[in-house]
């Protein structure tokens, strides 16, 4: 058996790490037997490797068969999975909708606020009063120029809040996804 086949078998063995050592040894022995059989039929190395397929995919197939055969029940695993899905479901009822709504709304308002301030400022230059754009603190109303500056600052703050909310939503989803993959392994 040449070095390419040894590398192939080592790669499969690496991908079969979740299995017990005895099970891995049996699988490697079975694949090695298939390789030797194909070599005895005078098949070239490239054709043998092509027939076997990618080592990672072959290992996944063996892992899938092993998991499908296993009927063991583990109370610890059950409780872990139950806790994960319970917490994920409960937190997802609040976090996903809240961040999913606030992120785009903050972004939208962050884009609209400076535009509204600009409309107020340009309107005042031409002698028009735009009543729907007002920056007021108590009884003090800002001039159109200060309203525009204030709207730009508030727009930037809202854009940052929207971007932060969006990143939090993505981080939450990625964390849940990664945790689910770890549980499935």
Encode the chain (185 residues) as per-residue pLDDT tens digits: 688 888 989 988 888 887 778 888 888 999 899 888 888 888 888 888 888 888 888 887 777 666 555 555 566 666 777 777 788 888 888 888 999 999 999 999 999 999 999 999 999 999 988 887 888 888 888 889 999 999 999 999 999 999 999 999 999 888 888 877 776 65
Output the CA angle 120-124-125, nearest 5 degrees.
Answer: 120
User: Cα 15 to the chain's mean position, in Å?
Assistant: 23
170 and 116, same domain (yes or no): yes
63 shares its domain with 142? no
If asked whether residues 90 and 176 sit together in one domain, one would say: yes
Quote the domain boundaries for residue 121: 75-184
Residue at which a domain ends, from 69, 87, 117: 69
Q: Are residues 79 and 61 in the same domain?
A: no
Query: What are 110's two structure tokens?
Result: 């962050």
CA dist., res. 12 & res. 62, Å (int): 10
* Domains identified in the chain, total number: 2
Closest CA to 116 of 83, 124, 68: 124
């Amino acid at each position: 058996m040449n070095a390419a086949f040894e590398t192939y078998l080592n790669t499969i063995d690496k991908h079969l790490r979740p299995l017990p050592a005895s099970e891995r040894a049996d699988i490697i022995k079975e694949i090695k037997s298939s390789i030797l059989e194909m070599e005895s039929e005078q098949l070239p190395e490239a054709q043998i490797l092509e027939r076997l397929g990618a080592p990672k995919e072959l290992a996944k197939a063996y892992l899938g068969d092993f998991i499908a055969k296993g009927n063991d029940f583990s109370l610890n695993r059950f409780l872990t999975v139950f806790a994960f899905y319970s917490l994920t479901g409960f937190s997802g009822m609040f976090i996903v909708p809240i961040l999913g709504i606030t992120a785009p709304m903050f972004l939208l308002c962050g884009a609209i606020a400076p535009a509204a301030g600009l409309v107020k400022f340009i309107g005042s230059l031409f002698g028009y009063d735009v009543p729907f754009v007002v920056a007021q603190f108590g009884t003090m109303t800002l001039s159109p120029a200060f309203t525009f500056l204030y709207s730009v600052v508030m727009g930037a703050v809202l854009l940052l809040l929207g971007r932060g909310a969006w990143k939090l939503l993505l981080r939450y989803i990625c964390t849940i996804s990664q945790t689910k993959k770890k549980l499935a392994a």
